[in-house]
Amino acid sequence: MRSNIQLVISLKKELLKILLMGLLGTVSTLTYAGPSVPYMPTWQARHHLERLADEAGLQITTTHWPLPLSAVQNALDDLPKDLSPSLAESKEYVVRELRQLSQQGNAEAQLRNRAEEPVGFGENYTPGSSIKVSSAAAEFGPDVLPVAAKIGARVEENPNSLQTSYTSGWGKNGRTQVKLDDSALVAEMGGVNLQAFAHQNWWGPGWESSLINSNNIPPWMGVGFQRSEVKTSESPWLSWLGPWSLEMFVAQAQDPVLVPGQPDGFYLIGQRLTFKPWSWIEIGLTRDTQMGGAGRSSGFSNTLNQAFTTGGEHSFQGSLQQDASNGVAGYDVKLSCPKSVHCSYYFQWEGEDSSGQSHLPNSFMTLEGLEWWSESGRHRVFTEYMQTYTDSFPWNVTKYTGSGYRNWAYPQGFTNGGRWIGSSFGGDARILTFGWMDAEVSRLIKVYTGETSTALGSYNPNTNATGNLIGPHGRLTGFEAHQGFKFNAWTISPELAYTHLAEGQSIGFNRTSDVRAGVTIARSLGDY
């Protein structure tokens, strides 16, 4: 058995070497975009980008965010000049958003009562009020090493809705917290952006949930690299991938320690390859590794070992290791309908990484969705069903509980800021969501039903005397509505949401039944 495992790991290392050699061997044939700050679109801009990709052949991937801003701009510039009027309007919307973010920056204040609600793509995770400011992007440095940068800051109420005691100060256990958000320092070398950043990720095709990296958490602060372009490579070795993006980062969590035995300040290694070999299919391969932290090894050699090998939770003899990790990995696919039908189907499978004899992801959590948009491009509707039970395929007889997003080495779970890194519905959840978007008036309405066995948004593993989780859980129903109003450089967006959970008890401001009302006021920092 040991020799077989070592053989699998050896083969994976050799495949990695081949991929790296291919990338290095094609550096001289690639056209570079130059350094660029990361770009995370609003839900409206993502709607328009997906439409342009499906109907106009826009050469980007749309299930991997953020992407380099200049890569998105270059892809838009390469679109045909004879777009239909509605597609031209979609292009102009994104161009306008890119220009505003890169040249002007923005300020945003969100005022809302303290209440927890599901967090979908482009939504603010803070279950309370927050203020955020981001600068315009700047470029500087010598021609041999150009650099792009921007700086942002965020002041918010504590994002862990299950936390009941706080420390003084503005750190991760404070009632009010200050974070660098939407900040980046990027240098470009040989077609690769080397970057230090503070931002969120969204990896996957879903609108309401991503099973592995979502908008439910505070921004990661980390370092990493990402391909500086997204368009098809000129190299014959890599051109078969179509438009593609490759990213890897290492970031440190800002989790409050709620339970004994949780390694404080763990690191997350994120890896994703997204490619679109044909116009009708986009494929994503993703892996997240939770490692290190207080009391565990987190040196450079161990980081490389966890990033490029498998089987991190146990040694070859089956004994527990001090530097054990918690891994989630898997696949996602988006399949587009013929252009005249205006629809797509997508799914995402994320499982326990490298467990079992295959040393490949297995025991999958699952998500699938179907979306349709109008010919005019104004409306998009979607339905999405996700399960964060492990072994949640229809043919799995047993849906295992207690393991989705949880691990013996990290008893506080797969969290950052006390919040689920993946779906905001948490582990052991089964949720059906219906959504309607009206991009012309920035209206978003969603309803959801299902159940969660842990807690919404945040996680606390503490239980009562009978061994049941004490946080709000059980049968869930709810809705939310957002509406945007534009006044020159100002945008005012009121929101209203309601959720009901049938079991557990209210803790902190994570309640069994709650209504959230708020308004977001945003303004570009410059002439619009």
DSSP characters for 214-243? -SSSPPEEEEEEEES--SPPSSTTTGGG-S
Give the residue with greater pLDDT, 20 vs 251: 251
Q: What is the pLDDT of residues 441-486, one digit of tens each?
A: 999 999 999 999 888 999 877 666 555 667 888 999 999 999 999 9
**With pLDDT > 70 as the criterion, what percentage of the chain qualifies?**
83
Q: Which of 133-147, 386-400, 493-507 has the least mean pLDDT?
A: 386-400
Residue 322: pLDDT over 60: no
Give the residue with greater pLDDT, 236 vs 256: 236
296 CB-near residues (< 8 Å, 6+ apart): 263, 266, 322, 323, 324, 409
In the chain the first and final C-alpha atoms are separated, in Å, by 64
Q: Which CATH number fits domain 2-524: 3.30.300.30, 2.40.160.130, 3.40.50.720, 1.20.1440.230?
A: 2.40.160.130
Q: Please choose, from the candidates 360, 319, 364, 363, the residue with its C-alpha nearest in 3D space to the C-alpha of residue 8.
A: 360
Cross-strand partners of 246: 273
pTM: 0.90
Q: What is the pLDDT of residues 491-514, one digit of tens each?
A: 999 999 999 999 888 888 899 999
Q: Is the separation of the CB atoms in 171 and 132 below 8 Å?
A: no
In this prediction, residue 517 carries a pLDDT of 98
Q: Please choose, from the candidates 393, 384, 392, the residue with its C-alpha nearest in 3D space to the C-alpha of residue 344.
A: 384
Residue 97: pLDDT over 80: yes
What is the number of other CB atoms lying within 10 angstroms of the CB of residue 229? 27
Q: Which of 148-157, 350-359, 379-388 has the least mean pLDDT?
A: 350-359
Residue 229: pLDDT over 90: yes
SS3 label, residue 435? strand
Q: How far is 464 from 462, CA to CA, in rounded Å? A: 7
Please tell me the chain's helix, strand, coil percentages from 3-state DSSP, rounded to the nearest 5.
15, 40, 45
Give me Rg for the CA atoms of the chain. Answer: 22
Measured between alpha carbons, how far is residue 67 from residues 55, 270, 407, 509 in Å? 20, 15, 31, 34
Region 68-84: mean pLDDT is 96
SS3 label, residue 306? helix
Q: Is the separation of the CB atoms in 203 and 272 below 8 Å?
A: yes
Q: Tokens at residue 506, please?
A: 């209210």
In this prediction, residue 412 carries a pLDDT of 81
Q: How far is 166 from 131, CA to CA, in rounded Å? A: 20
Task: Locate the domains of the chain by residue range.
Answer: 2-524
Q: Is the separation of the CB atoms in 61 and 244 below 8 Å?
A: yes
Exposure string over 387-408, b if 16+ CB within 10 A, otherwise e: bbbbbbeeeeeeeeeebbbbbe
Residue 317: pLDDT over 90: no
Q: Which of 165-179, 190-204, 388-402 has the least mean pLDDT?
A: 388-402
Q: What is the pLDDT of residues 2-31, one digit of tens each?
A: 444 343 344 444 444 434 544 443 443 345
Q: What is the pLDDT of residues 41-73, one digit of tens each?
A: 999 999 999 999 999 999 999 999 999 999 999
Q: How many residues does the chain have?
A: 528
Q: How far is 460 from 165, CA to CA, in rounded Å? A: 13
Give the residue with greater pLDDT, 368 vs 528: 368
Measured between alpha carbons, how far is residue 352 from residues 245, 319, 327, 439 in Å? 24, 18, 6, 37
Q: Please choose, from the candidates 401, 316, 405, the residue with its C-alpha nearest in 3D space to the C-alpha of residue 359.
A: 316
Q: How far is 27 from 162, CA to CA, in rounded Å? A: 49
Q: Is the separation of the CB atoms in 419 and 217 below 8 Å?
A: yes
